[in-house]
Amino acid sequence: MFTGIIKALGTVQKMDKTEYGLRLTIEAPRELPAKIGASIALNGVCLTVVEAATGLISFDLIHETLERTGLGSLEVGDQLNLEPALTPQSLLDGHLVSGHIDAVGKLLSRSDLPDKGRILEVELPSSLAPMIAEKGSVALNGVSLTVTAVSRESFSVALIPLTLRETTLGSAQEGSAINIEVDVIARYVVNALRVKNEI
């Protein structure tokens, strides 16, 4: 589990094709806990460390991960939001994030605010519409955010200057692919209602 509070930024160094998908190697701060077998969220996607050297961490991405998340469009030099998994001592500052992406949406627009914050409008896949609510939580590229507005085809979030500086959302351009993870409670409530209606 994660909280959606980004601890560091990493940079893609290598992308090696494999028979199962891709081995992704990133450069990351040395203080990031990254032993083999550890879980780290990259742009909100929970991955397992398969190699770790000083300042370099590698992950294996299977075809399903590449097809169902925005990681399939990465290029060498791209930056990534990084968050190590929760420990019993971790503070729950954001909201519970599983690292399992529900859909990939497109960044539709970005509007700067007078206080140096920014509003991001993101495409709302129809499958997620019942689980995105105004004032509710959502994780975008692994960042815990509060939904400020919802329409039939999109939803918006507000970013403070710190979030713009410390995460990749600050440099996200219109048209960019955004990993979306809905609030885990909303996911289970909607699923329970669907199952109940099918019985």
Q: What is the pLDDT of residue 88?
A: 84
Q: What is the pLDDT of residue 80?
A: 98
Q: What is the pLDDT of residue 33?
A: 81
C-alpha pair distances (Å), 133 with each of 35, 114, 119, 129, 147: 37, 25, 16, 8, 7
The arithmetic mean of pLDDT across residues 104-118, rounded, is 96
Q: Structure tokens of 152?
A: 């039939």
The arithmetic mean of pLDDT across residues 150-155, rounded, is 96
Q: What is the pLDDT of residues 43-55, one digit of tens each?
A: 999 999 999 988 9
Domain boundaries of the chain, sorted by first residue:
8-84, 103-198
Q: What is the pLDDT of residue 5?
A: 96
Answer for the pair 13, 78: CB distance below 8 angstroms, yes or no. no
Length of the chain: 199
Considering only residues 24 and 54, tell me which one the structure prediction assigns the higher pLDDT.
Answer: 24
Q: What is the pLDDT of residues 182-198, one digit of tens each?
A: 999 999 999 899 888 87
Q: Structure tokens of 170?
A: 């600050």
3-state secondary structure string, the chain?
Answer: CECCCCCEEEEEEEEEECCCEEEEEEECCCCCCCCCCCEEEECCEEEEEEEEECCEEEEEEEHHHHHHCHHHHCCCCCEEEEEECCCCCCCCCCCCECCCCCEEEEEEEEEECCCCCEEEEEECCHHHHHHCCCCCEEEECCEEEEEEEECCCEEEEEECHHHHHHCHHHCCCCCCEEEEEECHHHHHHHHHHHHHHHC
How high does pLDDT run on average in the chain?
Answer: 95
Q: What is the pLDDT of residue 149?
A: 98
pLDDT band for 62, please (50, 70, 90 cuts).
Answer: very high
Asked whether residue 27 carries a pLDDT value surpassing 90, the answer given is yes
Asked whether residue 199 carries a pLDDT value surpassing 60, the answer given is no
Fold of domain 103-198 = Elongation Factor Tu (Ef-tu); domain 3 (2.40.30)
Q: Thinking of the domain 8-84, which architecture would CATH place it in?
A: Beta Barrel (2.40)
Fold match, 8-84 / 103-198? yes
3-state SS class at 133: coil
The arithmetic mean of pLDDT across residues 66-93, rounded, is 93
Asked whether residue 85 carries a pLDDT value surpassing 80, the answer given is yes
The arithmetic mean of pLDDT across residues 162-188, rounded, is 96
The arithmetic mean of pLDDT across residues 126-149, rounded, is 97
The arithmetic mean of pLDDT across residues 146-154, rounded, is 97
The arithmetic mean of pLDDT across residues 68-94, rounded, is 92
3-state SS class at 86: coil
What's the burial of 40, exposed, middle or buried (CB within 10 Å: 0-12/13-18/19+)? buried
Asked whether residue 107 carries a pLDDT value surpassing 60, the answer given is yes
Q: What is the pLDDT of residue 197?
A: 82
